Amino acid sequence: MNLPSPPSRWFCFRAALELPSWLRLGVATLLLFLPLWNTGGLFGESTRPAGIPDGFVDLKKVVPEIQIDLKYVTAENFTGEPVDGYTANRCWITRQAALKLALVQAELRPYSLGLKVFDAYRPQSAVDHFVRWTMEPNQVAQQQTYHPGLLKTELIEKGYISDRSGHSRGSTVDLTIVDHADLHQGAPRELDMGTPFDFFGPQSAGAYPGLSVQQRSNRLLLKTIMERHGFKGYSKEWWHFRLENERYPETFFNFPTGGTALPQRSKQD
């Protein structure tokens, strides 16, 4: 007798999202705090360097399972060089946003899925670096990889680069989903989202029509679970999410990721 095939984890995940919110939150919270019980400080604040403001935490200390791949610490980004302000390979974010991401991670865990973060808090000095970079001559290799259809000078006009960034307020994150059951060179493989992180072009828009069915499903999965936990996406970048009730809505911080405070920049500056 042939038994029916078990439902795919994608189907199971969609079914789980339909559970009552109180039950889903309770299960996610339990899954979150059990692995953190013996981490030596839930928020990682005991190891926070001087100059990191109160309310910011090291995301890896809060949720060790989250994959961290900070692109701007290295030259593996659209500028082709390490970015100003990224003086340490530590992913800072507000405590509220970190706890929300922990709940997202907890919901993904039973399906062998998880989060991978490319950027969170971004110093204002890094934002200034991006603006200066747009005024420099085009780099052919970087343009082919990150913005093949646009010149540097068009990136500000098109809304991909600005002199202000929500990342500098500490509750915005760039991320994707990885599959822990599908390893590539020992690391969980990223789900296919249709474009890489920081690809500047219409293909990165969440609703871009030229995606495959699987790519659309992957983007929808990321968008759905992030929105369920209080984040709002950015229509031009599938990877970009801001916590709606962010802690510092009026302040653009400018401390390096390795510590030592620089002057803050208020919304009115």
List the catalytic residue out of 45, 76, 81, 237.
Answer: 237
pTM of the model: 0.82
Q: What is the mean pLDDT of residues 110-120?
A: 97
Q: Which two tokens stand for residue 37?
A: 């019980």
CB atoms within 10 A of CB 45: 16
136 has catalytic annotation: no
Percent of the chain at pLDDT exceeding 70:
79
> Alpha-carbon distance 197 to 145, whole Å?
11
Q: What is the pLDDT of residues 207-231, one digit of tens each?
A: 999 999 999 999 999 999 999 999 9
Domains in the chain, start-ordered, CATH in brackets?
A: 9-76+86-121+170-257 (3.30.1380.10)
With bands split at pLDDT 50, 70 and 90, how would you rate the model's confidence at 27?
Answer: low
H-helix or E-strand spanning residue 232: strand 231-234
Q: Which two tokens stand for residue 11?
A: 């189907």
Q: What is the pLDDT of residues 189-207, one digit of tens each?
A: 999 999 999 999 999 999 9
